[in-house]
Amino acid sequence: MMQEFYKKALLALLLLIVMDALVAVFCISKSYLSLSVLDTQPNDTHWRYIGDTAGGGMSSVRIQHPDGKRLRFDFKLTDAVNLPFAAAELRLHDRSDRLAQLDWSKYTSATFVAKCTPANSLTFAILTFDDKLSRLGEFNTYRTPQSFFSCDTKGARVSVDLTRLTIPEWWFNLHRIPMSLQDYQLNKVTKVVFGSSIQSPRNVDSSVEITDFYLHGRDYRYLAALAVFLVAGAGAFAIWFFRAHSRALVASLDSRMKTDLPLVAYRQLTLEPYKDKEKASVLRFIATNYIDSDLDLDGVAVETGVNRNKINAFLKAELGMTFTVYLNKLRLTEAARLLVEKSDAAVSEIAYSVGYRSVPYFNKLFKDEYGHPPKAFRSLAKQQAHQGSGTAGRPVS
């Protein structure tokens, strides 16, 4: 009976593991966020592509027909000013063509493929609205965290950590803010800029192409939900296991005690008397003297006058047991009865009363026979009796 329970428990555990694995795959995959920047915007918003040559001079920039999958622009820097600059900007606008904002707080990195002719060192920047400082539409008041990347004619995949961008020195000087205040938020992004750097070539026609522009992040709510599911599943399985295990133990105990009833019958000789006087005398003597701790096969042979080999052969044929096994069976069956009926009696007292001199030896034999130590057996027997009394008064449906 317990083997059947353990088979069911193992099957339930395997099903739980499979379910956990499926939920884990789903939650972990959902926790990875990815957003295509160029062709995915919130409803009623769109990107406007604008060329910028801040700083003046004769520098120029021209946006090549954007198609929602790539950003391509040509520019040329001149030496008319000390720090020439040219860039392509992506400004977010709503349906009324007013500036809008994106919440990128869930994303921690950006990746894109950059192809440049000739090879170049460029700037990647985002403009994010600062509630304490920024004024709508005045971009020099927006925080401007940025990073640098290199590209060539073959194209290079660029990865930018959005949490570790640097706001340039000029911005702090302009607003008289300590440069140590590098904090910025990504929840109100208005503009994305790809522009030249101080190392970009001068007086050279240059072109840049940006493709596969994606944002990446993690939604840890899915991982939290996974953790809750795993803990709940494990807890539910544990509760079921211990309750079902307890019921199985009680059922196993009941079955075992019913199995031992024939032994009680043999011991008490209430069944039909054996016609063979030798067999009857052997059974009667063992049944009335099994509690004697000195009882052994030689003693039974002397007291009954039956050859010891014949006694063993008879017990083996009738009960399928040797003398020693049968004697222990009788003692342990009586001990089980006493444990149930005499709940106040100590285990040692019961062990001595059924013929055992060593309590540890009795405990070992009892556990081997019933699968539980005497104290645990007594507790399970009480539980069985309680369950029986709880169902006795219920009407039969």
Dump pLDDT digits (tens) for 7-45: 888 999 999 999 999 999 999 999 999 999 988 666 788
CATH number of 260-391: 1.10.10.60
Segment 38-71, tens digit of pLDDT? 886 667 888 899 998 876 668 899 998 777 789 9
C-beta atoms surrounding 310 within 10 Å: 14
**The pLDDT of residue 150:** 95
Q: Checking phi first, is residue 176 left (phi over 0); if not, alpha (psi -120 to 50) or beta?
A: left
**pLDDT the model gives residue 314:** 83
pTM over 0.85: no
Distance CA 380, CA 371 (A): 11
pLDDT tens-place string over residues 280-318 = 888 888 888 888 989 998 988 888 888 888 888 888 887
Reduced to 3 states (helix: H, G, I; strand: E, B; else coil), residue 331 is helix
Q: Where in the chain is the domain with CATH 1.10.10.60?
A: 260-391
**Per-residue confidence band for 225, with pLDDT thresholds at 50, 70 and 90:** very high
The SS3 of residue 325 is helix
Tokens representing residue 362 in the block? 């009795």
Instruction: Give the span between the Cα atoms of 396 and 394, in whole angstroms.
Output: 6
**In this predicted structure, what is the pLDDT of residue 387?**
62
* DSSP bridge pairs for 135: 138
pLDDT bucket at 82, cuts 50 / 70 / 90: confident
Q: Read off the pLDDT band of 259 (50, 70, 90).
A: low
Q: Cα(first)–Cα(last) distance of the chain, in Å?
A: 27
pLDDT digits (tens, 9 = 90+) for 143-195: 999 999 999 999 999 999 999 999 999 999 999 999 888 899 999 999 999 99
Least confident of 126-130, 179-183, 267-271, 362-366: 267-271
Say what the pLDDT of residue 257 is: 55
The whole-number pLDDT of residue 272 equals 44
Q: Which two tokens stand for residue 368?
A: 């081997």
Q: How far is CA 342 from CA 77, 188, 301, 374, in A?
A: 103, 78, 33, 12
Least confident of 265-269, 305-309, 345-349: 265-269
The verdict on whether omega for the bond into residue 118 sits within 30 degrees of 0, i.e. cis, is yes
**CB contact burial 233-248 (16+ within 10 A = b; e otherwise):** eeeebeeeeeeeeeeb
pLDDT at residue number 371: 82
Largest Cα span, the chain: 131
Q: What percent of the chain has pLDDT over 70?
A: 87
For residue 110, the cross-strand partners are 160, 215
In the chain, residues under CATH classification 2.60.120.430 are 37-218
> Which of these, 208, 213, 197, lies nearest to 73 by C-alpha position?
208
Q: What is the pLDDT of residue 116?
A: 96
Instruction: Fill in the amino acid letter for 71.
Output: L
In the chain, the amino acid numbered 115 is K
Mean pLDDT along residues 96-116:
93
Band (pLDDT 50/70/90 cuts) for residue 255 is low
- SS3 per-residue string spanning 254-306: HHHHHHCHHHHHHHHCCCCCCCCHHHHHHHHHHHHHCCCCCCCHHHHHHHHCC
User: Which pLDDT belongs to residue 256?
Assistant: 60
Are the CB atoms for 28 and 222 separated by under 8 Å? yes
Cite the DSSP H helix spans in the chain: 2-31, 169-175, 220-259, 261-268, 277-289, 297-304, 308-319, 323-341, 347-353, 359-370, 374-392
Q: Which helix H or strand E contains 182, and what residues bound it?
A: none
CA atoms within 13 A on the CB side of 364: 6
Residue 396 pLDDT greater than 50, yes or no = no
The answer regarding whether domain 37-218 maps to CATH 3.40.1280.10 reads no
* Dihedral sign computed on CA atoms, order 377, 380, 385, 386: positive
| Arithmetic mean of pLDDT, 227-233 | 94
Distant-in-sequence, close-in-space partners of 302: CB < 8 Å, separation ≥ 6: none
pLDDT tens for 326-337 read 899 889 988 988
pLDDT of residue 271: 38
What average pLDDT does the structure give for the chain? 86
Q: Assess whether pLDDT exceeds 70 at residue 264.
A: no
**Residue length, the chain?**
397
